[in-house]
A and B are shown apart, each in its own frame.
Chain A
């Protein structure tokens, strides 16, 4: 094994260069920390994306698919999903899943942090919306968020720094329907610049955000944070797959062992280790890091590492209209959103709610994806042309992000046989939707059908649960005040290992019904500022 000496130890070792790792790297490096970041994926160049090429939809189904099991790249790790209702989605590269995310830059609502107090289920977070608000504000600036202030679904606050992106014909059509019903809607906030911002280009509305932005517009953290982090001296090592976080004889984290792309095992020492590998990769690594002092995995005295996995079941109602709506046009990105049915109303027969959003429906090939297994004459032949003429460019979807509550049975474990390309055990996902989730989705689908009808849809189709929807990976190393019922404290510091931190979506106490990256980034920023402020008191390995 090749090894750095203790003399080469980083002040902080960050594992994972995605959303939270990028925020940590930039701010720690700028505060003078010696930073090393290990990222198992490569750097991605925007010219690799197909969004500006005719082959876009063909490549979206494989090379740039968000499901690592479909992509099957060496830089990915496989996920065993036979016991899961939902497939986890992610991307492994500098920028992490922000490379392929839709950049819906949402804040949680105040009630999301007080679920137990308000609704009597799950748990409260150890801080409030108001505690996090300044960090939301700063992340809006760092990412370059486009949107419109004044949304009555939120307390009064600062508007996003950039004007909203256009909502297009599909957004207008959906909004007209919502107004007929007297239901909430608002132009969606997106981490996609409506004018040039921070070295990135203005969005040109290609609508290919989910397969990578060829315009270098979308706020992926390889562009928003890594240039500044590197400028400040952070060292970024790509192709570095960590297999274990090491500890010293006192139970303090001492660094990590990783495998480079030449198959060599290497060791990096550090005073502080920050894990930013997402809600699946983080518990996987902690469970892999078993030792004499931590026989059940690192920071796992509570037994909660890997448990309480939340992935946001996603349902949708698609409507087609008898007029052209240019429904391939971006951003994608969201055009409008609704929180009409977000807050709990116990009379509906379930707790909590969901955010809705309208997104473009892409090109003609993507429409074909739902036709597998149908009779030949229905899927192909003259009917193919009739369907394309009727639906293509004339349809949009009300997507429903259902809040799933934490349940210990939903979890990540190490698979006994499946491994990644370096022979490291892969994660197995055990995840089932609860009765509350089923009821929640059924209610929201009925309301979304009403919204679609009010907008004038001539035909509708319903997707009760999309299997490839697990973008939002949360809860598997939850935060809390009690070491018996949580893995980290409100600053991401592991209760069991005082120089081990977790900054990604693993720390979420509940899932909300929102796209989580804005909150992941704000929590990472809050945590890293606390770490910087308390640097002098930080315990480190000898």
Chain B
């Protein structure tokens, strides 16, 4: 898969990714965290189904300004832009620096103590529900 990403296409992806994910609002641009580097090969290796749309979009973009191409793809080939955008965003949000900035530890291992009394019991929240009584209709004749 990575053999298809020659230097020209990789550079085209880098530029396009920075249009989609620019440096703004205190966040780094996509290329600053290396979405166009080894991470891209990794993602395309995991998701070979993206390749056709991904490369179709990039080949249409070579030699053009990335802003204009992004608009054109969004209008005329949204599937290609979606594949490019998914590769960029997936790589971006997998980076530890980006995750730290948005406060995301990943899908973490944080078991709870099953013997701890839940807050909603301790503070009486659930008791309000209980106090209102049953809300079901019984089986007729029961």
Query: What residues make up the interface of B, taking CB atoms closer than 8 Å to A?
Result: 19-22, 24-27, 43, 46-47, 49, 70-71, 74, 78, 82, 85-86, 89-90, 93-94, 102-104, 106-112, 114-115, 118-120, 125-126, 128-130, 132-140, 142
Q: Contact between A389 and B102 (Cβ–Cβ < 8 Å)?
A: yes
Closest 8 CB pairs of A and B: A382-B24, A385-B25, A194-B114, A380-B20, A110-B139, A54-B94, A204-B109, A166-B112
With A and B bound together, what is the CA distance between A186 and B136 in angstroms? 14
For B136, give its contact among A52, A54, A111, A388 (CB under 8 Å): A111
Task: List 25 interface pairs A-B (beta carbons < 8 Å), by A numbering.
Answer: A57-B93, A110-B139, A111-B139, A117-B140, A130-B139, A130-B142, A153-B136, A155-B136, A184-B132, A187-B120, A205-B111, A324-B103, A328-B104, A328-B107, A339-B136, A368-B85, A375-B74, A380-B19, A380-B70, A381-B19, A382-B22, A382-B25, A388-B102, A392-B104, A393-B104
Closest to A394 in B: B103
With A and B bound together, what is the CA distance between A130 and B104 in angstroms? 46
Closest to A380 in B: B20
A16 on interface, CB distance cutoff 8 Å: no
Stretch at the interface among A21-29, A75-83, A174-182, A303-311: A174-182
For A152, give its contact among B93, B120, B125, B132 (CB under 8 Å): B132
Given A114-B140, A155-B138, the answer on whether A195 and B114 have CB atoms closer than 8 Å is: yes
Q: Contact between A364 and B19 (Cβ–Cβ < 8 Å)?
A: no
Q: Contact between B139 and A179 (Cβ–Cβ < 8 Å)?
A: no
A453 on interface, CB distance cutoff 8 Å: no
Task: Say how far A170's CB is from chain B's closest CB, in angstroms.
Answer: 13
A-B contact count (CB 8 A): 175
Q: Contact between B139 and A55 (Cβ–Cβ < 8 Å)?
A: no
Query: What residues make up the interface of A, taking CB atoms closer than 8 Å to B?
Result: 51-52, 54-59, 61-62, 72, 109-111, 113-114, 117-118, 128-130, 146, 150, 152-155, 162-167, 172, 175-176, 178-179, 182, 184-187, 194-195, 202-208, 215, 324, 328-330, 339-340, 342-343, 363-365, 368, 372-373, 375-376, 379-382, 384-386, 388-389, 392-393
Given A324-B103, A380-B85, A389-B102, the answer on whether A110 and B111 have CB atoms closer than 8 Å is: no
Q: Contact between B132 and A207 (Cβ–Cβ < 8 Å)?
A: no
Q: Which residues of A contact B140 (CB under 8 A)?
A: 114, 117-118
With A and B bound together, what is the CA distance between A26 and B63 in angstroms? 63
With A and B bound together, what is the CA distance between A154 and B135 in angstroms? 8
Q: Which residues of B contact A388 (CB under 8 A)?
A: 102
Give the most central of A215, A330, A382, A384: most B CB within 10 Å. A384
With A and B bound together, what is the CA distance between A343 and B46 in angstroms? 46
Q: Contact between A376 and B93 (Cβ–Cβ < 8 Å)?
A: no
Task: Say how far B32's CB is from chain A's closest CB, in angstroms.
Answer: 13
With A and B bound together, what is the CA distance between A113 and B142 in angstroms? 13
Given A182-B132, A207-B107, A380-B21, the answer on whether A372 and B82 have CB atoms closer than 8 Å is: yes
Q: Which residues of A contact B130 (CB under 8 A)?
A: 150, 152
Task: Say how far B87's CB is from chain A's closest CB, in angstroms.
Answer: 9
Task: Say how far A385's CB is from chain B's closest CB, in angstroms.
Answer: 4
Closest to B85 in A: A380
Q: Which residues of B contact A385 (CB under 8 A)?
A: 24-27
Q: Contact between A184 and B107 (Cβ–Cβ < 8 Å)?
A: no
Q: Contact between A110 and B24 (Cβ–Cβ < 8 Å)?
A: no
Q: Contact between A373 and B78 (Cβ–Cβ < 8 Å)?
A: yes
Given contact pairs A58-B86, A375-B74, enumerate 7 new A-B contacts (beta carbons under 8 Å). A111-B136, A166-B118, A178-B129, A365-B93, A381-B19, A386-B25, A389-B25
